[in-house]
Amino acid sequence: MIAAFFERLNDTQGLNFSIFYDAFDRSRFLTGLWTTTYICVVSILASLAIGLIGVWVAGSGSRLGRLVVRIYVQFFRNTPPLVQLSFFYFAVGSMLPTVSDGFGGQSPLVSGTGWAIIAFSLFAGAFNVEIFRAGIEAVPETMVEAAESLGYTRFQLWRQIVLPLAFRICLPALNNNLVNLVKTTTLAYAIGVPELLYAASQIWSEMFNVREMMNVLLVVYVLLVAVLVWVMHRWEKAMRIPGYMP
């Protein structure tokens, strides 16, 4: 039904939405969508882990640890993500050994998708460190002191008191950063990762339907972000601290 409608649209109006009736284009587009989702989800999880580790190291007594985290955060926040990605993919990637792919050929140790995930995780992770730090600083010292006087160890204190509070406080800022991360995944196009933008560009260069694909692409990305924002807002509401108004 849908396929027939879009086929007719192409014949009568010249609007060629090939992804809706052509099985090959559709599968390419969906694969791209899947790759984008995959990169997003893995990078989000990894960047959250990096943020937590970073803020833990920065908050520990070690001076060297603090310095390393600070250099990492400032460097990744003040340089273009596209150049970071090129740096990882071309410069670091070329220095790593290749592995045999089992068919007699050699393939790089980390694929383009792998480098994209690594670069985006480090990029978003640098922002997360800062966001978590601000959230943790918003937890009053009295609360920490009270917990300490009750005999909490540092790990227990973090897990049961500081992090649950800090996490709720920094959730809005975290949302912004995660939305940014989803938008940043388009950069993977530059190193030839078959994500949504790449798939769309392949389709429009073969079917000559730049205008249609471009609009589809824009709508899909806005929807993707809208879904993320909606889910996070629901979560924010469910997790909100009674009586706390930022």
Partner 1 sequence: MKAGATDLPVLKPFRAAPIAPSGLAAPALLSAGLVAGTAIVFAASLAVAQASGPAARDGAVTILWRWAPLIFQGFLFNLLISFLSMALGTAVGVLFGIGQVSPSAALRKPAWAATQFFRNAPWLVLLFYAMFLLPFEIRLGPVTIAFPAWIKAIIGLALPVAANVSEIVRGGIRSIPSGQWESAEALAFTRRQTMWMIILPQAFKRMIPPWMNLYAILTMATTLISVVGIQDGLTVTRAALVAESRPELMLPMYLLLLLMFFAYCYPIARLTMALERRFNVKG
Which residue ranges make up the site for partner 1 (CB under 8 A)? 58, 63, 66-67, 69-71, 73-75, 77-84, 86-87, 90-92, 94-95, 129-131, 133-135, 137-140, 165, 169-170, 173, 179, 182-187, 189-190, 197, 201, 210-211, 214, 217-218, 221-222, 225-226, 229, 241, 243-246
Please state the closest distance from residue 235 (CB atom) to partner 1, in A. Answer: 17
Q: Least distance in Å: CB of 4 to partner 1? A: 28
What is the DSSP code (8-state) at residue 179? H
| Shortest reach from residue 84's CB to partner 1, in Å | 7
User: Of 3 and 219, which has the nearer Cβ to partner 1?
Assistant: 219
Q: Which residue, 82 or 147, has its beta carbon nearer to partner 1?
A: 82
Sign of the alpha-carbon dihedral angle for 156, 162, 164, 170: negative
Of the pair 7, 82, the CB lying nearest partner 1 is at: 82
For residue 167, the minimal CB distance to partner 1 (Å) is: 12
Query: 12 vs 78, which CB is nearer to partner 1?
Result: 78
Closer residue to partner 1 (CB): 7 or 114: 114
Q: Which structure tokens are listed for 222?
A: 């806005």
| 99 phi and psi angles, rounded to 5 deg | -120, 155
Task: Identify the burial level of 136 via C-beta atoms within 10 angstroms of its C-beta, where 0-12 means exposed, 13-18 middle and 19 or more buried.
Answer: buried
What's phi and psi for 192, nearest 5 deg? 75, 25
In the bound complex, what is the minimum distance in angstroms from residue 13's beta carbon to partner 1? 18
User: Which value, in Å, is the radius of gyration of the alpha carbons in the chain?
Assistant: 22
Tokens of 182: 């989803």
Query: Would you say 146 or 222 has its CB closer to partner 1?
Result: 222
Nearest C-alpha neighbor of 55 from the set 139, 164, 163, 174: 163
Element (H, E) at 219: helix 210-239
Closest to partner 1 by CB, 69 vs 117, is 69
**3-state SS class at 111:** coil
Q: What ranges make up the beta strands (E) of the chain?
A: 98-100, 106-108
Q: How far apart are CA 39 and CA 163, in angstroms?
A: 26
